[in-house]
Amino acid sequence: MIAPRRMGPLDIESAGTCDVLVAGSGAGGFAAALTARLHGLDVIMIEKESLFGGTTAFSAGVIWIPVNSHQKAAGVIDTREDALAYLTHHVGNRLDRARAEAFLDSAPAMLDLFEREGIAAFTLATSWADYHPDEPGASQGGRSLVPDDYDGRALGPWFTRLRPPIKTMTAFSGMMVGRNDLPHVFSMTRSARSALHVGRMLARHARDRLRHSRGTRLVNGNALVARLAVSAFERGIPLWLSSPVVELVYGGGRVTGAIVERDGKRLEIGVRRGVVLACGGFPANDELKRRLYAHVAAGKRHVSLPPSGNTGDGLRLAQSVGGTFHGEVHQPAAWTPVSLVPQPDGSMVPFPHFFDRGKPGYISVDRRGRRFVNEALSYHVFVPALIEACRDDPQAEAWIVCDHDAIRRFGLGALGPAPLSVRPFLRSGYIKRSNTVIGLAEACGIDAARLERTIGEFNGPARRGEDPSFQRGADAYQRFNGSPDHKPNPCVAPLDKPPFYAVRVIPSELGTFAGIRTNASAQVIDSDSRPIAGLYAVGNDAASVMGGTYPAAGITIGPAMTFGYIAGRHLADSGSQHPAT
Ligand SMILES: Cc1cc2nc3c(=O)[nH]c(=O)nc-3n(C[C@H](O)[C@H](O)[C@H](O)COP(=O)(O)OP(=O)(O)OC[C@H]3O[C@@H](n4cnc5c(N)ncnc54)[C@H](O)[C@@H]3O)c2cc1C
């Protein structure tokens, strides 16, 4: 243990104390740290890994903020009552109303403060509907916001410490493709404007690669985290890397500090106000996944997307001082299907299937060759349907199947659209191809006769834009993810142009939903629901405010940032007579 020495107020290693210690450098951690700092507190951020950004850096960085101030200019009508009605209806009896209301009350203020201070910058996705847009109070678009691009060069030497995006989600050695780039990528061979947009992306990337290990035009979660990090550094918040918080110090009825491992030493850092746990939940904890994920408990394959450092440390730390675990959520994690992309070194890197499933010309089938779900529904709905369809099978796995027109227009999984070549993906075995449906089924190990029947039955109505089995394309969310120029139904087209292609998908998660019980002020609470003084949990360390459901795009990072903001303000208030404004 290092003896505390008094030096500069933020020189924590020598001073030994600070107002607030934040464990974890994702969206939740940065939001808490920056809010506390904006309110005048001395803050230190502690990150376990050698890279900062956590799952947030892998993500699309989308946030869900009902009644946000961008809506007015875009002509979007939204009310707090509608948003609460939607959550009440969708989450049902698992909704913690006090936390949900705290989220709705504080989220717009968080966004306004962060944008005013230059800490965050977002663009409203006006037609990105909530995921269940026909439920009461749902929005047809305008509650989800996409982070603006950011220039990674602003990070200076820290750029190499920003967690890069998942490899399979970049092109040409590290070029990021954002949510707003996708329509251009899909239309680059049909529209001069789109071709120009993609051409500019490629030119910038080519220039970047002369000087940098990857592209510096950051989009999605990388842009969000980089902007947060630069804002934190500018405001004098130190960030220690490779320094896990391993213990909490508790005394006199409150958390008074934390033990951090750094350079082989155990350092005690005292806190005057509190510790914020923002360690990103437990997606890398195999034991907890065996306990909480039914398909994993049944021995079925599951490959997690989040980084390997998210091992549930926050949960363990909270429980060590009386915090409690809340596993009574609809789903223990935010599910998504992934395919596994073979790498030259023999390893497999997952690719999340957010969009291709619901585009025209694609269906998903189980090994019996049956469709089992409306493929255009959200990833969080798709995976439970897949697991259920494969209940009696040795594995939970399905195939996304498409025809030649579809793959050239939209790609398939990690393969982008034409002019990108299918060949490397065929060679690696990632994608299967055949001139006949029967041949494709045999290559995948799917019941061939049944697949042929399934596609035949699908194609007839699909020619009229109909899907009598699952009503694909029936709501605004599905149509948003379809292809707007495809008529009459943006989500449905027959699979009738050989060759046919397929990729296998299995369950994965974007992050965990079960977590530490917290109150509306983001304080960790004990089994009697009393707050543990000096201890907060935000992001995926806290149990999902959505009760384990996934109502819309951005429902984990929106609340992560909002409860980070709430924690920061509460910490500021906790030592003053004057409440934070
Ligand atoms: C591909 C993908 C796309 C996604 N897109 C979206 C999206 O658009 N919108 C959305 O809302 N959600 C999205 N998600 C989910 C979202 O990324 C996560 O839910 C969210 O980023 C979690 O934020 P966090 O702050 O809780 O944790 P993280 O961002 O995971 O950060 C936690 C950090 O804590 C560190 N840590 C762990 N243990 C310790 C310790 N003992 N001491 C110190 N540090 C520690 C970790 O190393 C990590 O860096 C996506 C996820 C993926 C994988």
Asked whether residue 7 carries a pLDDT value surpassing 50, the answer given is: no
In degrees, rounded to 5, the angle at the alpha carbon of residue 312 between the alpha carbons of residues 59 and 4 is: 105
Strands 122-124 and 333-342: unpaired
Confidence at 576, pLDDT banded by 50, 70, 90: low
Model confidence over 287-322: pLDDT tens digits? Answer: 999 999 999 999 999 999 999 999 999 999 999 999
The residue-averaged pLDDT of 57-67 equals 98
* Cα diameter, the chain: 77
260 lines ligand 1 (CB under 6 A): no
The residue-averaged pLDDT of 368-393 equals 98
Nearest atom in ligand 1 to the alpha carbon of residue 352 is 1
* Residues in contact with 422: Cβ distance below 8 Å, sequence separation at least 6, in sequence order: 407, 415, 431, 433, 501
Q: Provide long-range contacts, Cβ within 8 A and 24+ apart, for 516-519.
A: 516/277, 516/314, 516/315, 516/318, 516/319, 516/323, 516/324, 516/325, 516/326, 516/541, 516/542, 516/543, 517/323, 517/324, 517/325, 517/326, 517/542, 517/543, 518/99, 518/542, 518/543, 518/563, 519/98, 519/99
Residue nearest to atom 49 of ligand 1 (CA): 54
61 lines ligand 1 (CB under 6 A): yes
Gyration radius from the chain CA atoms: 24
Residue nearest to atom 20 of ligand 1 (CA): 56
* Residues in contact with 581: Cβ distance below 8 Å, sequence separation at least 6, in sequence order: none
Reading the block at residue 120, the tokens are 């965050």
Task: Kindly give the distance from the C-alpha atom of residue 383 to the centroid of ligand 1, in angstroms, as a whole number.
Answer: 20
Model confidence over 511-525: pLDDT tens digits? Answer: 999 999 999 999 999
Minimum mean pLDDT among 159-173, 184-198, 523-537: which range?
184-198
Report how far residue 341's alpha carbon sits from residue 391's, in angstroms, rounded to the nearest whole number. 25
Task: Kindly give the distance from the C-alpha atom of residue 557 to the centroid of ligand 1, in angstroms, as a whole number.
Answer: 8
Report percent pLDDT > 70 for the chain: 96
Task: Kindly give the distance from the C-alpha atom of residue 26 to the centroid of ligand 1, in angstroms, as a whole number.
Answer: 5
Nearest atom in ligand 1 to the alpha carbon of residue 28 is 25
Report how far residue 433's alpha carbon sits from residue 439's, in angstroms, rounded to the nearest whole number. 8
335 lines ligand 1 (CB under 6 A): no
Asked whether residue 188 carries a pLDDT value surpassing 90, the answer given is: no
Task: Kindly give the distance from the C-alpha atom of residue 52 to the centroid of ligand 1, in angstroms, as a whole number.
Answer: 10
444 lines ligand 1 (CB under 6 A): no
Task: Kindly give the distance from the C-alpha atom of residue 283 to the centroid of ligand 1, in angstroms, as a whole number.
Answer: 10
509 lines ligand 1 (CB under 6 A): no
305 lines ligand 1 (CB under 6 A): yes
Find the DSSP H helices in 445-556. Answer: 448-462, 476-481
Place of tokens 């993500």: 59
Model confidence over 132-183: pLDDT tens digits? Answer: 999 999 999 999 999 999 999 999 999 999 999 999 888 777 788 887 887 8
Query: Angle at which helices 80-91 and 97-116 pack, to 10 degrees?
Result: 130
Asked whether residue 526 carries a pLDDT value surpassing 80, the answer given is: yes
510 lines ligand 1 (CB under 6 A): yes
Q: Tell me the average pLDDT of the chain.
A: 94
217 - beta bridge partners?
Answer: 151
Minimum mean pLDDT among 272-281, 364-373, 444-453, 567-576: which range?
567-576
- Angstrom distances, CA of residue 449 to CA of 21, 394, 555: 61, 21, 41
Report how far residue 355's alpha carbon sits from residue 416's, in angstroms, rounded to the nearest whole number. 12
Place of tokens 């699909």: 462
In degrees, rounded to 5, the angle at the alpha carbon of residue 166 between the alpha carbons of residues 232 and 193 is: 90
Residue 170: predicted pLDDT: 84
413 lines ligand 1 (CB under 6 A): no
Among 176, 379, 509, 556, say which to mutate for ligand 1: greatest number of ligand atoms within 8 Å of CB: 556
515 lines ligand 1 (CB under 6 A): no
Asked whether residue 376 carries a pLDDT value surpassing 70, the answer given is: yes
Among 49, 59, 239, 563, say which to mutate for ligand 1: greatest number of ligand atoms within 8 Å of CB: 59
Let me know: does 504 contact 390? Beta carbons within 8 Å: no
Residue 195: predicted pLDDT: 85
Model confidence over 477-499: pLDDT tens digits? Answer: 999 999 999 999 999 999 999 99
Asked whether residue 3 carries a pLDDT value surpassing 70, the answer given is: no
The residue-averaged pLDDT of 325-333 equals 96
